[in-house]
Amino acid sequence: MLNYAWFIFLTPIIFAPISVIAGKKRKILAGVLASLSITVSLILSVIVWLSIRGTSTPIYQTFNWFDNINAGIYVDHLAVVMVLMVSFVSLMIHLFAMYYMKDDPRKNTYFGETALFTGGMLGLILASNLLEFFLFWELVGLCSYLLVGFWFFKPNAASAAKKAFIVTRVGDLLFIIGLAVLYSLLTVHNVASPLSIPYLINNAPAIASEIGAQNLTIIGLLFLGGAAGKSAQFPLHVWIPDAMEGPTTVSALIHAATMVTAGIYLIARVLPLYANATPLAGEAVLYIGAFTALFAGTIGIVVNDLKRILAYSTISQIGYMMAALGMVTTFGESVIGYSIYHLVVHAVFKALLFMTAGVILLTLMELRDVKKMGGLWKRMPITISLMFIGSITLAAIPPTAAFFSKDTIIDVAYNYFIMNGSNIYSILPWVFLVVGALMTALYTFRMFFLVALGKPRSKLAEEAKDPPKIVLIPLMILAFMSLTLGLIQYRFYDFIVPNTTRVVVPMIIEYTPLTVVAIGVLITIGIYGTTKWQRMHLEKNPVYRLLKAKYFLDTLFTRVIAERVILPLSSGVSRLEKGFSISIEGAGSGAMGFGGILRKIENGVVEYYFVFLIAGVAILMLLLEILGGI
């Protein structure tokens, strides 16, 4: 008997083709069907949540897929939280997308693809086996590719989709190598189902002693590579800003709330492996996360494209989640709670911010340069108020939810410093995260002030106006949640990991992030709250240029690695292949000619046939005589 939890991810997948086909004739139907299927998922998720809320026994149902791979579903508290978050946020975004995409001629395809994506994401969360996990991982990657390139007639969108696909492929390659290593090491030890998630998380110490902590570290680093690709961590973050070429609802759904957090979920899922590996595995996660949090934040300060600012902020915020997970060796499984809490809060407010951005872009005809906006608060008060709520949440100003989630992570980083020898090396994460918080405040309010205050700096901005209130309801729900989610902080932690360690830090440390944020807000008010920024000429400033060029990473990837290394290599290979294909063509025409000669045997004259038959049989007999040796 199939558990109903299966239908959490099966429903949207089943509905995806239906909504494409049904939406062909009646356009409205596509959005309705897709939203309906996700509503079903949400309801089922709530039922699952209610049923396993009180117990610690997960829902676990599998069937034998092939050989020693069992596929199925595994729903524990972590998974159920993720499922609730994904189906809820996805539903909100679908509802909003019915307005946002209302004039698109291919909107049935759009809703089919987003429904498929949601199903894939839910399947990824519920997967009970890492191989199954990987398949869904690829499925969401595919949907991301399709949706980023949804407006494929824009050359930017087409190339952005390609870039997103290729860069994440690097991570996926590392991930599947990690899977292969893990599988082959465990198969040697005759494990019944080597890649099964419950097996991995319940027997992590035994696995570590069997295959060695060193090997586990290698596997962990490879998984981290996969997670960095999907979750856009340094240095594989370069695809997300370009992916903003897709419809804004896609950015909200895939590149802010759900898919990019799949990497975090992967590491959280197999966290016991990191806990039992050598400390290097965890440290790599921590330092990459913390560094990305700061690094992406600094770029976010100088970007002018509204959606790209949000994209860099997404990278930075995921860095926080990653950093929290990295401290597993010191705090044990409690870090899952810290990380996932921020993940959920982030999904809510980032989806909100992206959707407000979507509203703005819709009325500004896809004009994305924040320097050309301005004065929108007066013209679209409801939208900008919602954006304000999103912004203060992003900047972690109390009492918004992110204040609780993010500051906890920063405080944990401080404790990490205390508990790991209080040296220059172990204080780095905390420093990165605190400075990252400053950057967050800077880019958030720079964006907000440029958008909302001052005078309109373009014709389009002058004519901006609010959309009908009814379409903003999903946004209002999200805004409400980003203000109130902070109330459930500790209950959330204990739900995910029972008896999560409470974070206690000295008073001064506790207020450091807040102070830093306040400083950031003051700076931005000074520069961007007034018209001072218009008189600043930063083009000559080397730091500005470094940031503006995104640390020359794109240049490094395209100019140096791609053009200097890969292109010559590939042109060499292509020359080789040209020779090869000429020889293949030669072989082909040779084969055709040979076939033509063979066909001459079939000349339709029966007398010849007899001769051929007898001659053939005679030759066969001779051969047998020689070979068989009677």
Residues within the interface to other proteins (CB under 8 A): 588, 591-596, 598-599, 601-602, 604, 606, 608-610, 612-613, 615-617, 619-621, 623-625, 627-630
| Nearest distance, CB of residue 625 and other proteins, angstroms | 8
Question: Least CB distance from residue 141 to other proteins, whole Å?
Answer: 22
Q: Which residues contact 312 (CB under 8 A, 6 or more apart)?
A: 240, 241, 296, 297, 299, 300, 303, 443
Residue type, 616: G
Task: Please name which of 322, 324, 332, 337 lies closest in space to residue 224, comparing C-alpha atoms.
Answer: 322
Strands 69-75 and 59-66: antiparallel
- Beta strands, E only, 22-161: 59-66, 69-75
Pick between residue 473 and residue 620 the one whose CB is nearest to other proteins: 620
Cα gap 56→58, rounded to integer Å = 6
User: Considering beta carbons, is residue 105 or 596 the nearer one to other proteins?
Assistant: 596
Nearest CA-CA partner of 5 in 36, 35, 50: 50
Phi, psi torsion values for 69, nearest 5 degrees: -110, 120
Residue with smaller CB distance to other proteins, 539 or 607: 607
Which of 298, 379, 333 is CA-nearest to residue 76? 333
Closest CB 622 distance from other proteins, rounded Å: 10
Taking the C-alpha atoms of residue 224 and residue 513, their distance in angstroms, rounded to an integer, is: 28
Least distance from other proteins to the Cβ atom of residue 493, Å: 46
SS3 category, 66: strand
State how far the Cα of 346 lies from the Cα of 291, in Å rounded to an integer: 19
Q: How is residue 585 written in tokens?
A: 């063509």
In the complex with other proteins, the residue whose CB is nearer, 565 or 615, is 615
Give whichever of 155 and 628 is closer to other proteins, judged by the CB atom: 628
Judged by beta carbon, residue 525 or residue 617, the one nearer other proteins is 617
Compute the least distance from the CB of residue 114 to other proteins, in Å. Answer: 27
Judged by CB, which is closer to other proteins: 24, or 455? Answer: 24
Is 120:139 a contact under the CB 8 Å cutoff?
Answer: yes
- Toward other proteins, which CB reaches closer, 28 or 624? 624
Min CB(580)–other proteins separation in Å: 15
C-alpha count within 13 angstroms, C-beta hemisphere, residue 72: 21
Q: Quickly list DSSP for 204-232.
A: HHHHHHHH-HHHHHHHHHHHHHHHHHHTT
DSSP code at position 365 = T
Minimum Å distance from CB 190 to other proteins? 21
Q: How far apart are CB 443 and other proteins at their closest, in Å?
A: 49
Least CB distance to other proteins at residue 585 (A): 12
Nearest Cα to Cα of residue 313 among 301, 330, 331, 324: 301
Q: CB of 611: closest distance to other proteins in angstroms?
A: 10
Q: Which amino acid is at 44?
A: L
Nearer to other proteins, 537 or 599 (CB): 599
Q: Which amino acid is at 145?
A: Y
**Angle at the Cα of 325 from the Cα atoms of 319 and 329, rounded to 5 degrees:** 135
Output 498 or 588, the one with its CB closest to other proteins: 588
Minimum distance between the CB of residue 66 and other proteins, rounded to whole angstroms? 11
What distance in Å separates the CA atoms of residue 200 and residue 206, rounded to the nearest whole number? Answer: 9
Cβ count near 441 (within 10 Å): 27
Non-local CB neighbours of 58 within 8 Å, separated by 6+ positions: 52, 74, 75, 76, 77, 79, 198
Q: Tell me how crowded residue 516 is: count the other CB atoms within 10 A of its CB.
A: 20
In the bound state with other proteins, the residue whose beta carbon lies nearer, of 468 and 629, is 629
Looking at the Cβ atoms of 519 and 615, the one nearer to other proteins is 615
Q: What's the sign of the alpha-carbon dihedral 16, 18, 19, 21?
A: positive
Smallest gap from residue 64 Cβ to other proteins (A): 12
Tokens 């034998």 correspond to: 64
Closer Cβ to other proteins, 139 or 479, answer by number: 139
Minimum CB separation from other proteins for residue 196, in Å? 22
> Tokens at residue 429, please?
């994460």
